[in-house]
A and B are shown apart, each in its own frame.
Chain A
Amino acid sequence: MEDLTPEQAREALDVVGRARADVALEVGLPRWYWWAMAAGWVVLGVIGAVGPVWLTTVATIAFGAGHSAVASRLLDGRRRTRGLQVSRAVADRRVPLAVILMLLVLVAVTVGAALALDADGARHSQVWAAVIVAAVIGFGGPEILQTLRRWMHA
């Protein structure tokens, strides 16, 4: 081997670290997933506002089941794009936890927004709350998840 100085070796290790970090940035969920979830959020909000209780219950269960079926394949975040599959070693196990945490927060925000709108006398407060949160999910889902991952070091 050539005589490598510690400085040169450190530079090479930096190259390795950057490559791994670039791949780690690919951990996440595909864009269509966020828009599908946003659409589901609005549908649930509308059903909750205008539908009978049994329909709301069925829709919620269906949404949950559908979401679970899709998410179980996607939640590890290893297939955000078609271009690569991130290795398990790079996709931190805390990513699914971050997604679940995010969902719980979004549910809480939806309920809070609906109550606030209702207290303000808005009509169809549930629908508007769902639309607001759906917009947040659709437009900002990936960014919110990335921020959460940074906080959790996931």
Chain B
Amino acid sequence: MSEARFDELIHPSTRLSLVATLAATDWAEFAYLRDLLSLSDSALSKQLSTLEAAGYLVTERLSAGRRRTVRAQLTDTGRDAFAGHVAALQAIVGGDGPVG
């Protein structure tokens, strides 16, 4: 069980969906995330950059023949932060009040 720690960076709805999706994967490609979350390329890029700058995820550019893709995966720091955030939300739902 992770220590409850509310994360302001993860909490906004779009970013929460993005991090939750990545938490359920080893990695996901840019196009998959864009389609799943119904985001524009630029909006998704911005979200990924924000999370990458915080050390929560890493992106990797790959090219196989003519196919170029960007893969994103959560770092251990990102997974810990997400787990802590979920624990914080569960604590609030459970009636423990605000969690720091």
CA distance in complex: A85, B93 (Å): 31
Taking CB atoms, residues of chain A closer than 8 Å to B88 are 1
Q: A81-B32, A82-B29 are in contact. Are A16 and B93 (CB under 8 A)?
A: no
Contact B27 A85 (CB under 8 A): yes
A70 interfacial contact with B, CB 8 Å? no
CA distance in complex: A81, B13 (Å): 26
Chain B contact residue count (CB 8 A cutoff):
28
Q: Which of A83-142 contact B (CB under 8 A)?
A: 83-87, 89-90
Contact B99 A1 (CB under 8 A): yes
Contact B32 A84 (CB under 8 A): yes
Contact A23 B24 (CB under 8 A): yes
CB nearest to B31 among chain A residues: A83
- Could you tell me the distance in whole angstroms from the C-beta of B27 to the nearest C-beta in chain A? 6
CA distance in complex: A135, B36 (Å): 31
CB nearest to B90 among chain A residues: A13
User: What are 12 A-B pairs at a CB distance below 8 A?
Assistant: A1-B98, A1-B100, A6-B93, A15-B13, A15-B16, A16-B86, A18-B17, A19-B23, A19-B24, A22-B36, A83-B32, A87-B26
Q: Which B residues lie at the A interface, using CB under 8 A?
A: 6, 8, 11, 13, 16-17, 20-21, 23-29, 31-32, 36, 86, 88-90, 92-93, 95, 98-100
Seed contacts A20-B21, A84-B29, A87-B24; 17 additional CB < 8 Å A-B pairs: A1-B100, A4-B6, A4-B92, A6-B95, A9-B93, A12-B16, A13-B90, A15-B20, A18-B17, A19-B20, A20-B23, A22-B21, A22-B36, A23-B24, A78-B26, A85-B26, A85-B28
Q: Which A residues lie at the B interface, using CB under 8 A?
A: 1-6, 9-10, 12-13, 15-16, 18-20, 22-24, 78, 81-87, 89-90
